[in-house]
Amino acid sequence: MKIARVVVDVPAMQTDRPFDYLIPDQWKDVIVPGIRVIVPFGPRKVQGFVIEVTSASEVSKLKKISELFDLTPALTDELLELGKWLTEKTLCFQISAFQAMLPAAMKAKYEKRICLTRSSGEMSPELAALFENNQDLSWKDAEAHNLFAALQKEIKKGTLEVVYQVSQKGKQKKVRYLTPAADFETLKRTAEEMPAQAGRQKAVLDYIIASQKSEISISDLKARVNASDSSIKSLVQKGILAEKWMEIYRDPFEHRTFKQTKNMALTNEQQTAIAPILDSIEAGRHEVFMMYGVTGSGKTEVYLQAIDRVMKEGKEAIVLVPEISLTPQMVDRFKGRFGSKVAVLHSGLSTGEKYDEWRKIQRKEVQLAVGARSAIFAPFENLGIIVIDEEHESSYKQEENPKYHARDVAIRRAESYRCPVVLGSATPSLESFARAIKGVYHLLPLRERVNSRALPEVNIVDMREELRKGNRSMFSSDLFEQLQLRLDRKEQTVLFLNRRGFSAFVMCRDCGYVIQCPNCDISMTYHRQGNKLKCHYCAHEAPMPSVCPECSSEHIRFFGTGTQKVEEELAKVLPEARVIRMDVDTTSRKGAHERLLGQFGDGKADILLGTQMIAKGLDFPNVTLVGVLAADTMLHLPDFRAAEKTFQLLTQVSGRAGRHELSGEVVIQSYTPDHYSIQLAKDHHFDGFYEREMMERKQHAYPPFYYLAVVNVSHPDLLKTSSVMENIAQFLIQNLDPHTKVLGPVASPIPRIKNRYRYQCMIKYKRDEKLIPLLKKVMDRYQQEMARDELAISIDLNPTTLM
C-alpha cells in the first residue's frame, strides 16, 4: 500500500514534521502532494496536507487516511516547495506556511459532536428524549446543558460516541439550475402534447425553446414566465428537465462597470524602461527590475503593457499593491485594461469573496491577480511577470507568522518560473535601491512626468517660528492663507496628519531639539513612570529634563495629536469649509473608504482630512493644495527607518497635488525643518536622500549594510522575561560569529502588551551561517516552557519594525 507523508494542522513545535499514513486503495490514484486529507491524530481527527507519496515508512503501525478533503491539490508542487522555503527563511511551522498561502476560507474548522452508535441500547430518559429526533449533539450544546456526566455513562456503555468533524470555513456558493433532458425537437413535441391544464409548464417549455439555452436559472424562469416551484418540480419529475448545481462566484464588482482602455503610446523614457522587461519576458530569464520613477511618470502604463505581453504569450501575472492603495482607482486601471481576466484579492472583500477570486485563479479562469501582500501566493502555474508597486511600502511585510516579505517571495517564485520581477516606486526602499546601484537589480529610471507638468512647489513652514510669532494653533499662517485661497477659488485641499509616532518623543517647542540617545542616534522615548527617557535600542536611560539642553527653554515637552482635534479646529477657523475626515474610525465600515473618496471626488467637500490612508494612490484633478500638519511625528520614532519613512511619506503626499491642468502647492509644517529627510523631500531629491541616508546606515551598522534579526521574548512576569532574554543573548553572543553584533537585551518599545512583558535583542550580521541553526536551537531549548508556561519567543528575520 502507498504511504502519504502528511503535515498536520497542529501548529506546535513537536508536531512540526510529517506524519506517515496509509493510503486506502480506493484513493491510491487520487492522493497526490498538495491534497488535503483528514487523518486520525491521537484520539482526534485533524486536517493535514499531503506533501509526499512514498512506498515505505520507518514507522511500523501506520493508521489510514480517514477522509479526502480535496480532489484537486490545494497547493501546487511549486507552492509546496515555496512553503518549505518559507519555513526555513522565516522559522515558522510548515503548517503555518501552507496556511498562509491559502485564502482564509480554506482554513479547517473543527467540531466535536456526540453521536448515537449503531448498537443503541437503553438510554436514560432525559438523554433518550434529546436523541429522539437528532442523530447527534454538538459538544457546545452538551456543555451548555451540563450533560457531560450523563453522556459519559452512555459513552462507557457504548450507546454514544464522540466524533470529530472537520470542515472548511468557507463554502463554494452554488445555485440550482435547470437543463433540458432532451434535445429541442423532443422538447417542442412535449410542449405541444402538454395537457391544457398544465399551462404554466407549457409556458416554461416554450420559453426554454425560444431562448435555445441549455442552462436556465430558476430565478430567471420565475421572473420571465412567472413559473412556480410546483410546475418546475413536475417538469423535473416527468424527466423533461434536469436539475443541476453550479458553482457561482460572489462578485465584489457586480454593480461596477469598467471603461475599456487600450495600450497608450509610451514616451521615450517609458519605452526605454519597458524594453529590457520585454526582453526578459521573451528570453524567459529571471531578472529583478527596479523601476524608479517620480510620481506621475507613468509606471502603471509600463506595468500594464508588460503584463499585456505576458498574457499574449499565454502566461500569467501577479501585481501587488499596498493594502491601502487598493482604491477603486487602482482596480479600475487593471479591470479597464484586462476586463474579466483579472482577479482582485484585497482585505476589503469578504472571506467568501476572496475565496471565489482565488478559485478563479486556481481554475485558470483569469490570468492576472491584483492584490495586497498575500496575493503573491496566487496559485498560477505559468507565471510570466510579478509586479510590486510602491515597493518600499511596509505593508508588504507580514508581522504575524510566517513573517515573510512579499518581495522576497516574489523573487523566489520568479526564479522558479524564470520570469522578471518589477519593483516600482518613486521612493524605493534603501535596500532595493542599493541593490539596483550595485547592479544586483536592473535600474530603470523614469525621471520625467508624462504630462511634463512640474512637480508641485513645496513650502516648509518652521513651526517654531510660528510659535515665536504667537501662533499657537496647529495651522501656520501660511497654510491658513493657502486654505482660504482654495476655498475662494473652489479648489480642493488634502490635509494630512501623520498619527503614527504617537509614542511620546520629547521636543523643544522653541528650538526643535529632540532628545536623542547618545549611543544610537535614535530619539528617546518618554516614560511617564519615573518621568525619564529611555532608548529602546541600547537601554540607555536619562532623566526627563525640565529645560531644553540645547537652548534652555522651558517649552520642552512630549508630543501627539489626532484627526478629530484637527477637524474641530478647522471648524473653528474655517467654518464655511466642508470637511471629510478619513481615519480608522470613519472608514471601519465596509465600503466607507470608497464612499468617502467618491464624495470628495464629486466635489462634495473642500477639504479631505486624513491619516496614512490618504497618502497614496489618490488622484483628484481639483486638488491643488496638500498640507502636512506635522512632518516630524514619525521622524522621532525609535526606528532606524524613521528618516526613510518620513522622506517617503512627504514625497508621496506631495505627489497628490496638481496632477492635472491645475498646478499644485504643498505646505509642510515642521518643528525640525532642517532635517535632511524634510529638506530633500522639498526638492523631490531622492538621489540626494539616498546618499545621505546610506551614510547614516553605514555609520550605525544598519541595513542595507547589515542584516537584522530580532528575538522577542514575552511573559507575564517581568523578571522571567528579562532573564530568559538575557540567557538567549548570552548564548547567541557565545556561539555566533565574532563579527556578528548582538545588541541588548532591552525592553521592547512597547514594554508590556496585554499584561505580558516584552524584551528583545537585536542581531546585526553580514553573513553568519550559524545564525539560523542557533535560533532554531534557542526555540528548541525553550520549547517545553513555551508549551506549558506562558513564555513566548518570536523571531523576526529582517524585521521592518522593531515595535
Q: Which residues bind DNA (CB under 7 A)?
A: 10-12, 14-15, 19-22, 39-44, 57, 59, 61-63, 110, 112, 164, 787-788
Q: Specify whether the CB–CB gap between 772 and 88 falls below 8 A.
A: yes
Q: Which is nearer to DNA, 42 or 125 (CB)?
A: 42
Could you tell me the three cell numbers for 97? Answer: 506556511
Could you tell me the three cell numbers for 489? Answer: 477659488
Q: Is the dihedral of CA 365, 369, 374, 380 positive or negative?
A: positive
Q: Which is nearer to DNA, 15 or 670 (CB)?
A: 15
Query: For residue 563, with 0-12 CB atoms within 10 Å meaning exposed, 13-18 middle and 19 or more buried, which class applies?
Result: buried
CA atoms of 708 and 762, how far apart (whole Å): 7
Nearest distance from C-beta of residue 725 to DNA, angstroms: 20
Q: Is 419 annotated as a binding residue?
A: no
Nearest distance from C-beta of residue 44 to DNA, angstroms: 5
Nearest distance from C-beta of residue 154 to DNA, angstroms: 15
Comparing CA positions, the residue from 270, 750, 232 lying closest to residue 503 is 750
Q: Is 511 annotated as a binding residue?
A: yes
Nearest distance from C-beta of residue 712 to DNA, angstroms: 17
Could you tell me the three cell numbers for 545? Answer: 529634563
CA atoms of 424 and 295, how far apart (whole Å): 11
Q: Is 538 annotated as a binding residue?
A: yes
Nearest distance from C-beta of residue 268 to DNA, angstroms: 58
Q: Which is nearer to DNA, 64 or 364 (CB)?
A: 64
CA atoms of 6 and 59, how far apart (whole Å): 13
Nearest distance from C-beta of residue 124 to DNA, angstroms: 18
Nearest distance from C-beta of residue 348 to DNA, angstroms: 30
Q: Which is nearer to DNA, 59 or 283 (CB)?
A: 59
Nearest distance from C-beta of residue 11 to DNA, angstroms: 6
Q: Which is nearer to DNA, 4 or 436 (CB)?
A: 4
- The DSSP code for 505 is B
Nearest distance from C-beta of residue 3 to DNA, angstroms: 9
Could you tell me the three cell numbers for 184? Answer: 429541442
Rg (CA), the chain: 31
CA atoms of 358 and 371, how far apart (whole Å): 11
| Buried/exposed code over 369-380 (b: 16+ C-beta within 10 A; e: otherwise) | bbbbbbbbbbbb
Query: For residue 301, with 0-12 CB atoms within 10 Å meaning exposed, 13-18 middle and 19 or more buried, which class applies?
Result: buried
Q: Which is nearer to DNA, 17 or 364 (CB)?
A: 17
Helix 218-225 vs helix 199-211: crossing angle, to nearest 10: 110
Amino acid at 538: C
Which residues does 651 contact at the CB level (< 8 Å), separation at least 6? 295, 426, 427, 681, 684, 686
Q: Which is nearer to DNA, 21 or 702 (CB)?
A: 21
Whole-number Cα distances in Å, 279 to 43, 124, 312:
57, 78, 15
CA atoms of 683 and 696, how far apart (whole Å): 20
Nearest distance from C-beta of residue 21 to DNA, angstroms: 5
Whole-number Cα distances in Å, 336 to 314, 329, 598:
19, 10, 18
Determine the distance from the C-alpha atom of residue 144 to the mean position of all C-alpha atoms in its chain, rounded to a whole number: 37
CA atoms of 750 and 761, how far apart (whole Å): 14
Nearest distance from C-beta of residue 164 to DNA, angstroms: 7
Q: Is 548 annotated as a binding residue?
A: yes
Amino acid at 288: V
Nearest distance from C-beta of residue 631 to DNA, angstroms: 44
Q: Which is nearer to DNA, 20 or 381 (CB)?
A: 20
- The DSSP code for 707 is E
Q: Which is nearer to DNA, 61 or 490 (CB)?
A: 61
Q: Specify whether the CB–CB gap between 333 and 300 falls below 8 A.
A: yes
Q: Is the dihedral of CA 519, 542, 467, 483 positive or negative?
A: positive
Total length of the chain: 803
Q: Which is nearer to DNA, 521 or 790 (CB)?
A: 790
Please name every residue paired with 45 in a beta bridge, in sequence order, or none if there are none.
Answer: 40
Which phi and psi angles does 481 have, rounded to 5°?
-60, -45
- The DSSP code for 577 is -
Nearest distance from C-beta of residue 95 to DNA, angstroms: 10
Q: Which is nearer to DNA, 113 or 250 (CB)?
A: 113
Q: Which is nearer to DNA, 152 or 552 (CB)?
A: 152
Nearest distance from C-beta of residue 335 to DNA, angstroms: 41
CA atoms of 61 and 352, how far apart (whole Å): 40
Q: Is 92 annotated as a binding residue?
A: no
Q: Specify whether the CB–CB gap between 201 and 231 falls below 8 A.
A: yes
Could you tell me the three cell numbers for 558? Answer: 512630549
Q: Which is nearer to DNA, 14 or 237 (CB)?
A: 14
| Buried/exposed code over 145-160 (b: 16+ C-beta within 10 A; e: otherwise) | eebeebbeebeeeebb
Nearest distance from C-beta of residue 19 to DNA, angstroms: 4
Q: How many CB atoms lie within 10 A of CB 278?
A: 16
DSSP string, 417-445: HT-EEEEEESS--HHHHHHHHHTSSEEEE
Q: Which is nearer to DNA, 39 or 566 (CB)?
A: 39
Whole-number Cα distances in Å, 415 to 75, 408, 423:
18, 11, 15
- The DSSP code for 346 is -
Q: Which is nearer to DNA, 112 or 741 (CB)?
A: 112
Q: Is 761 annotated as a binding residue?
A: no
Q: Using DSSP bridges, classify how beta strands 420-425 and 383-389 pair: parallel, antiparallel or unpaired.
A: parallel
Q: Is the dihedral of CA 329, 658, 265, 274 positive or negative?
A: negative
Give the residue numbers of the binding site for Zn(2+): 508, 511, 517, 520, 535, 538, 548, 551
Give the residue numbers of the binding site: 508, 511, 517, 520, 535, 538, 548, 551
